[in-house]
Structure formats: structure tokens, C-alpha cells
Structure 1
Amino acid sequence: MIVMKFGGSSVANRKQIEKVLAIVRGRAGRTPLVVSSAHKGMTDALLSGAREAARGVYAPERVIERQAAIARDLGCDDALLAPFYEEISALYRGLSLVRELSLRSLDYAASFGERMAVRVIADFFTREGLPAQAFDVWDLGFLTDAAFGSARPLPGYEAAMQRAVRERVPAGVVPVVTGFVGKTEAGDITTVGRNGSDLTATLVGAAIAAEEVEIWSDTDGVMTADPSVVKKARSISEMRFDEAAELAYFGSRVLHPSTLVPAMQKNIPVRVLNTNRPEHPGTVIREAAPPSELSATSIAYKEGQLAVTIRSTRMFGAAGFLGEAFQALGRHEVVVDMIATSEVSVSFTTDRREPLDRALPDLERLGEVRVEAGKTLMVVVGRRLAAQAGLGAAILQAVADAGVNVEMVSYGMKSISLTMLVADKDVGAASAVLHERLFERA
């Protein structure tokens, strides 16, 4: 069995869903399980409608008509989604009356995109001659904790999913399953995080011991750089799990940051493919990959960083100062992306303002604190970084030649990534020169 995940752009409209049908039909012999995102833009529309409702603007018809237009174009009966339209209207009505929007309500609102998408896709597949059945993922045993917005499956979900898939999916029928969402044991709908259908796919793949997980999007696999910034970016044929995980965390737009963890734990290959060019081999990500002749694997970046510096003479030759700082960050749930220290200062970055604001009073008791916004983490990932003499210097020189100032550097011993902090405005210039030096001259 294989798991095939299709993103929002892949199921945006009838033209795209026809491409998906042809791809899935071509893999029918491998017993595919399809995980689908919402149609492109639907999740944002649903959340926007919920927020408007909480401000007293009751307008469910906007999102309902958007979904209904796609369903009609696919030839679906109006009755197929009528219960969901009623449920959306009732939810928005309730929000407009209480004027309150909780994380639970946001997850509930967001869930309709996937729940409606899988039903119209399965209905369309079946009428086109490929028997399919829609499933909400919790009906196949995927129950989660109550961490709304970032839920994770409960321990033991794997056995529950194996049993449910075996007992509930008819032979010869393609299950079309909701990505992104889950449900608690109490019956509350959750989500695993924005763009989380990738994560759903690998969690399902790990549970059912899939032969492979395919992630279908609108790019030719994982690229050597963001193609919207570097026009000469090219596809990477094979890469290791650790390289892809670094890229995903540090801003690669192709994979959700947590996607690879379940696949790594069960050693299931993940293949990233292009719905619009299904003949392209894309990128296969696995535990071991053949040696590369290139110095690096890819460049990624993570914008919107806050750079924080704590300066104090108490640090000089003293034990425990960093421990106090990290305890303060931990108490207030500040997630640190990058860190560097000297004898009298420690600098770190984070991308969430609210937890940092909560932590600032505690940090200011340790020393002088400076916060700077508008920063980007640029990372070069490659398995040869630690072994090739002068490569780190060449990377820094390339950024300097682009006229970009590196404000902070992080590079762990035997690391496969070198991270630099630059200004947001310098991302394009730094990416272009780095790509030219690392990939175009090779």
C-alpha cells in the first residue's frame, strides 16, 4: 500500500482534480490511500469567515458558494455537501452571537475544507470509473490530544488505524482521507497545524506500514533553492532524511516541518512529486542516499525572525547564567531557532512575539536586553559541510560578495547545516549569489 497526499493547489478545481484522478488511477495496482488537503484557498476563506462572524459579520454564503462552485463543476449532487453548509452556517451564527473565537472554534471552522474536499473528490472519482470512498481520518482510528492548532495522535493510534483500514475500507476501493484534521476522544475536532496534510500523510503511512509516501504539490520535488527567489533553482533527485528535515524546519516551502519524523521512525521513503508534471521523477527522501558531487544540497530561509541579545558582565567566567536564561525562555514557551554566545552576551532568534514579550521581564533581570525585528535565518544544508575544508568560508564569502552583512552565525560540530542571520531585505541577493557559487558552477 502507498499513501498519496495531494495539496491544495493539486485539488484546486476540476482541471487539477482530473490530473489527480489520472495519477491515482495509474497507481491503482499499488493499493493507494489518498490524503487530500482542502481546495486551494478554502481554509483561509473558512477562517476569515469565522473571524468575521466573531466580529458580528454573519456571511456564510461567501465560503459556501466558493465550495459549491467547485462541487457543481465536478458534477456533484447539491445534496452531497448540504449538511456541511448547514453546519458552517450554524457555526458562524453561533460565533456572531457570542462574539468569541477560541482555538477550538478555529480548528472546527478550518476542518470543513478537508471534510468537503474528500467527499467531492471521492464522488468524482467513482463517477469517472475509479471506485472511491471518502473518510474523515478519525473514522480510521486517528484520534488526537486536545492541543488545538497543533494536535498529535494519541499513543496506540497505529494499531487502531491498521485495524480500521483493514475493516472499513472495501476491497478495490480507493480511500480518500482528510488531511490536516483529527478528533479528540471527547469528540472535539482538532488540526495538526497549518499545511499539516503532509504530516497526516506520513503519520498514516507510518501507521499502516506503507511501502512509500508520495507528496504531490506544484513543484518538481525539493529544490536547491526557493524557485520564486532563485530562477535557476533545480530539483534534487535524492536526499537523506536529515537533510530534508533541516530544510523543512528552516523554511523550505515544499514540506511541513514535522512531516519527516514519522517516516524517519519507520524508515518509509517519502517521494515529492509535481501534480502538473507527473512524469518528472521529483525527489526521493530516504535514510541513505548516494553520494553527491555537489558541495551542498540546498539553500532555505526562514523569515520574520526576532533577534534577541542579552548582555551582562555576570556571564564572564560564571556558571549558571545560561541556565537561568533558558529556564526563563522555557517557562514562557519561547522556541529558539538559533543561538550564539560570547563571554558577556548571548544572542538567539525566535519567530513568535507573544511568548517573547512574556519572557522579557525575566530576561531583563539578567542583563540588558535588545530585540531587533526584520531578520531572516538563511541555512545552507549539505552532508559535506563538515568534511570539505574551506566550504564554510566560501559560503560566508559568497554572502559578503552579495553585499549582505551576516549578523550571526551558527554551525555545530559535524553539522549538516550552516545558519546565518541576515536582514529580511537581503534574502534575494544572498540566495542568488549562494546558489550561483554552490550549484551553478558545479
Structure 2
Amino acid sequence: MAAARVRCHSNAPFTRLPQSGHRNSPTLPISPNRVDFAALKSPRKFLLSIGDGSSCTRRVSGSCLKSTVRAVLDEKKTDAIRETEVEEKRFTCVMKFGGSSVASAERMKEVAELILTFPEESPVIVLSAMGKTTNNLLLAGEKAVSCGVSNASEIEELSIIKELHLRTVKELQIDPSVFLSFLEELEQLLKGIAMMKELTLRTRDYLVSFGECLSTRIFAAYLNKIGVKARQYDAFEIGFITTDDFTNGDILEATYPAVAKRLYDDWVDDPAVPIVTGFLGKGWKTGAVTTLGRGGSDLTATTIGKALGLQEIQVWKDVDGVLTCDPTIYKRATPVPFLTFDEAAELAYFGAQVLHPQSMRPAREGGIPVRVKNSYNPKAPGTIITKTRDMTKTVLTSIVLKRNVTMLDIASTRMLGQVGFLAKVFSIFEDLEISVDVVATSEVSLSLTLDPSKLWSRELIQQELDHVVEELEKIAVVNLSKGRAIISLIGNVQHSSLILERAFHVLWTKGINVQMISQGASKVNISLIVNDDEAEGCVEALHKSFFESGDLSELLIQPRFGNGSPVSALQVEN
């Protein structure tokens, strides 16, 4: 019988899936001829023109054919033989929304409207917990340790959490049964903590997971109510596999294929917008719920982006992108339009709250741009983060402040010519699981700062510091200084002489003593250590000089004297 051409007719947009995307062959129930397919745009429907001029329409769930496929047709079934690639009309981007973006029923409605303003997108949605829910969960857990079992249900923060979520469900007019069992389980967990009189790191992770589990269920229910088919997912149930480092788990490579398979398979079976819990994973040995560290929802989003090979990762915050400094320190901070992954990683690590420190790694590995936008001001251009950008006219990108830092000065004549001295020093920190931020060395001394985020409570901080000093004093003279801050200058370190000259002049005019300086191996960061109580004034003064003086681009092309100083560098502040 004559061969026929099969063409796909639809107004639906065709979205190209990157080469790394997951693909499945379609199954087509059609008749007994050899037929050539030429599918164009439809995500799910094909119009078949058979040799005798008759036609029929058949539905194919979730698939678009990029090129030709040959099928053997039978009256009751079809065996489709793929001759060339099949492209799926599936996910195009990840859209991650932080806690302030979904802090109330009104905010959830606005986020839903925002998502619907991009009809050409097929997004995966990642959500944080509502508002301050994570903080309230932690406070509730700490109070439960000492309040007694009979008083656990009366903890103030538990009441705040219940009231917020019940009010949100009522205002969204959705069925509260979608999450009531979680509130009951949360109360029982707090009673268990009260009975045991301890809050372990493992229990702490399980406790804070309730925030994301609640917010995603409420939001998915609301989308379904307004006619947008959505499906809720707990990240720890769809393949997010981590180390068993509770409160700070690292995502393992097995996560990527597992997440891709689960989300794609569900989409093929029954297309719906995935609503995924941010911040959470499952320990690969224990099988227990783990968390990815504060701000870990960003890492959830970039991990999904890499797993699915998507076109873009969108991180929606409550600010207009990545800024030139913290706007709570200096209100004239402005958005940075473009960043590299390296710059963004340094910004996050040294204190910028906009992004999670580890979130850039999956995006960099997948070559996927990250766009940081403001959910309160979606028309603002935001910040685009990519692998490379034109840095020829860039001096400084942003100034970041990290507070409450402890500095250690370690001096020993044993360092002279001794093999393994630095290894001994850093093994002490490794044994105590304390992270080191900034390091500077000389022939006989070593200066470094400690990351306070790796220490879990004020009492433990002092215990850890005492132990560190005790161990280090066995091999060196140690001077410990608290109340320090790290000011990190992120930008084009090829111009480090210009940056340092300008920075030191600014700080000199303010009478600030820089106690330590370090240039990062990433080549995009210079860190200065100052007293914590002077740090905010330093950031403001540096911002005025680098971002508001208007003369830095001129300095880049001016002739320089033999000592390396630009002609007008020391005239700027006078």
C-alpha cells in the first residue's frame, strides 16, 4: 500500500530541548501501512494522512518529533521505530522562589500570576518555606528541649507556624486537608524532642523540612484550584541524594539521573507543573532527611537545571538581582547586570545573601545561565550569571561583608624550611570540622580566619576555639582575635594594583587599620580583614569610591608612573 506523510498540526510552541536532555520514543496507536512521520510543532497530537486520502488524529503524550520517524501501522496498535531523534516538549526552565516571595496567601497569588505571564515556558518550580517559618521551626525545636512534654504543644513558634499556614489556606480557599497531617506530625515531633531533652543535627534537619513540605503542598493545591495542573514533590523522595552531613549535606552525582528520570517519567505519564521542595535531600547511608545549608533552595534549583539540561535557571528573590553591596548597609547599592559563575560563587561564599555558596557549581557544569530576578518587581532586568563575560572595562563588581569572624595568627620558626608544618596546622581544623575562610602566609607566620557558620551554638563556638588554640599551641605561638570582619572586593583582579591602591587610600583617610589581606585563587576576589565595628563604614566609603566617583574606567587607560600608580588615583578622595 502507498506510503503516507504524517504531519503534526498545533498552535503550541515548539521548544528545543538541549542535547543533554532526556528523551523517550513515542508509542503511537495507529493501522497496517508503512508511514513516514514529519512532525513539526504539536506537543501531543498528530494528524495522519493515509495513502487513500483519509485521515485520523492520534494523541502522543508529551512528545514532539524533530525529524522523521518510521512506524508500522496496524488497526489496533503501532510499533514505532525511531530512525532519528525525538525531541520532547517538556521543561524549559527552573523557577525558584524564596521564602519572602511566598510569605503569605497574597504573595502566593502574585507568584502564580507571575508564572502564568510566561506561557511559552514549561517550568519546574522550586519553593522555600513561607516567610520566617524555618527560623520559627528552629526556635521551636530549641524551646522543646527544655520545656517539658506537656508544654510542647504550647510553644509560641508552633502557634505562629500553625496560624500562618491555616490563614494562608483559608485565604486561598483550598482544602486544608492537604497539610493538616503535617501540622499534627510537627507537634508530635516537638513532643518527642521534649521527651528526649535533646535536638540532634539529624532531628534538626527533619524538623526544618516541614517548612518546605508545607509551602509546596499549599502552592500546588492553589495552582490546581485555579486550573493549572500541578504536582507536588518532596526533593528527598525524587532522587536528591546527599552525604550524611546533617545541616550541610553535599549533593551526590547519583542525584542527577535519578531526578531527571522521575520528573520526565511523570511528565510523560501525566503532564503537570512540578512543585519541588527546596533545601532538602536524603542521606545516602542513613536514608534520613538532610538539608543543604541555609539558602539551599538555590542549590536545589541549579541541580534540577543541570539534571534536566534546561535552558535557564531563574532565582526569584526580594531584591533587583545581585547588588553592588548589601542594601541594608548602604542604601545606594545598585544591581549588577552581569556576573560570571566564579564571581557569583565568591560573592555567595563571602557573605552575599542572594545566592547559596554551592549553587553555582551545577549551573557551571551544565553551562546553564542563571538569572536572578525580583518577584516584587518582575520588570527589573535583574542579574544574568554566565560562564564568561567581557571584563576589559571592569574593575570592581561588588563589595561583600562577612561579620563575626575570628582571626588566628600562628607564628613559629619551625615553619622555616620544615616540610609538613602547614599540613599539621590544617589537620587540626579538619579533625574539628571547622572551615577556614581566608589564609595568608609568610616565612614564619600564618594568619587565617574561621567561618562561624560551621559552629552550631555560642557555647560550642567557645569550646571549639579553646580546643583549636590548645592544639595549635603545641606547635606554634597563637594569637586569637575575635570581633573581626572580612570585606571582599569582587571583580577583575587583573587590576589588583589599582583596586588595592584605591582601597587602601580610602581606608587610610578613615583611619582604618587593615589587619590582614588575601587574594583568592579564583582571581576574582581580594579580602581585607578589619575590626567588625568599623566594617559597615568601610563598605560605605569603598562603595562611594569605586561605584560613585565615575573615574575608574578612565584610570584603566591612563599612563602609569614607574611605581604603578595611576595619575589621579590619590587625588580622588582629596
The 8 Å contact of residues 174 and 225 in structure 2, kept in 1 or not, is answered as no
Q: Is the 8 A contact 1:336 1:350 kept in 2?
A: yes
In structure 1, what residue type is equivalent to 2:491? G
Which residue in the other structure is 2:281 paired with?
A: 182
1:225 aligns to 2:225 (yes or no): no
The CA distance in 1 between the partners of 2:544 and 2:218, in whole Å, is 45
Aligned equivalents of 2:301, 2:495: Cα separation in 1: 35
Shift of residue 413, structure 1, vs aligned partner: 7.0
Q: Is the counterpart of residue 207 in structure 1 residue 307 in structure 2?
A: yes
Name which of 544, 551, 563 aligns with 1:436.
544
AA at the equivalent of 2:450: T
- Is the Cα–Cα contact under 8 Å of residues 243 and 250 in structure 2 kept in the other structure? yes
Q: Partner of 2:466 in structure 1?
A: 357
CA contact (8 A) 1:251 1:301 kept: yes
Q: Does 2:441 match 1:371?
A: no
Deviation at 1:90, TM superposition (A): 1.3
User: Structure 1 vs Structure 2: percent identity of aligned residues?
Assistant: 35
SS at match of 1:114: helix
TM, length-normalised to structure 2:
0.74
**Structure 1 pair 293–109 and aligned structure 2 pair: CA distance change class (3 A):** same
Aligned partners of 1:332 and 1:85: how far apart in 2? Answer: 37
Matches of residues 40-439 of structure 1 in structure 2 within 5 Å?
Answer: 40-55=131-146, 56=148, 57-58=151-152, 59=154, 60-169=158-267, 171-184=270-283, 186-291=286-391, 293-352=393-452, 353=461, 355-383=464-492, 385-387=493-495, 389-412=497-520, 415-439=523-547
**Does the C-alpha gap of structure 1 residues 252 and 292 become closer, same or farther in structure 2, counting only changes over 3 Å?**
farther
Question: What is the Cα deviation at residue 289 of structure 1?
Answer: 1.5
C-alpha contact 1:3 1:214 (8 A) present in aligned 2: yes
Paired with 2:332 and 2:159, the residues of 1 have a C-alpha distance of 43
* Cα distance between partner residues in 2 of 1:252 and 1:235: 13
The SS at the match of 2:217 is: helix
Q: Is the 8 A contact 2:94 2:305 kept in 1?
A: yes
Unaligned runs of 5+ in 1: none
Conserved 8 A contact 1:217-1:275: yes
Deviates more, 1:260-269 or 1:24-33: 24-33
For residue 231 of structure 2, what is the amino acid of its counterpart? Q
Give the letter for the 2:468 counterpart: A
Q: Call closer, same or farther: CA 1:155–1:27 in 2, change over 3 Å.
A: same
Letter in 2 for 1:13: S
Q: 1:294 to 1:437 in 2, by over 3 A?
A: farther
Report how far residue 108 of structure 1 moved. Answer: 0.8
Kept in 1: contact 2:395–2:495 (CA 8 A): no
- Asked whether the 8 Å contact 1:386–1:413 carries over to 2, the reply is no
CA distance in 1 between counterparts of 2:375 and 2:321 reads 10
Aligned to 1:3: 94
Q: Deviations over 1:91-116 (max 9, x none)?
A: 11111112121111111110000000
Find the aligned partners of 1:390 and 1:143 in 2 and give their Cα distance: 45
Contact 1:294 1:439 (8 Å CA) reproduced: no
Moved more, 290-299 or 193-202: 290-299
Q: 2:114 is aligned with what amino acid?
A: I
Measured after TM superposition, the shift of residue 27 of structure 1 is 2.3
Q: Decide which moves more: 316-325 or 361-370.
A: 316-325
Range 367-376 or range 20-29, more displaced: 20-29
Relative to 1, partners in 2 of residues 1:437 and 1:9: Cα closer, same or farther, differing over 3 Å? same
- CA drift of 1:301 comes to 1.3
Deviating more after overlay: 156-165 vs 142-151: 142-151
Paired AA for residue 5 in structure 1: K
- Secondary structure at the aligned position of 1:392 is classed as helix
**Paired amino acid for 2:372:** V
The letter of the residue matching 2:427 is Q
Whether the 8 Å contact between 1:103 and 1:148 is mirrored in structure 2 is: yes
Contact 2:342 2:522 in 1 (8 A): no
TM-score (norm 1): 0.95
Q: What is the number of equivalent residue pairs in this alignment?
A: 441
Query: Is residue 144–residue 182 contact of structure 1 (8 Å, CA) maintained in 2?
Result: yes
Structure 2: gaps (5+ residues): 1-91, 453-460, 551-574
The CA distance in 2 between the partners of 1:109 and 1:413, in whole Å, is 38
Please tell me the residue identity of whatever aligns with 2:473: E
* C-alpha distance after superposition, 1:193-232 (max 9, x if no partner): 1221111111111111111110000000001111111221
- State the distance in 2 between where 1:233 and 1:320 align: 45
One-letter amino acid matched to 2:545: R
Tell me, in whole angstroms, the C-alpha distance in 1 between the residues paired with 2:219 and 2:168: 10
- Cα deviation digits, residues 279-325 of structure 1 (max 9, x gap): 11100000012336342111001111101111223334544332322
* In structure 2, C-alpha distance between the alignment counterparts of 1:325 and 1:143, rounded to whole Å: 32
CA contact (8 A) 1:409 1:419 kept: yes
Equivalent-residue separation in structure 2 for 1:389 and 1:15 (angstroms): 50
1:393–1:413 Cα change, 3 Å:
farther
Superposition deviation, residue 373 in structure 1: 0.7
| Deviation, structure 1 residue 52 | 1.4
Q: Which residue matches 2:3?
A: none
Paired with 1:23 and 1:341, the residues of 2 have a C-alpha distance of: 51
Q: Partners of 2:164 and 2:499 in 1: how far apart?
A: 51
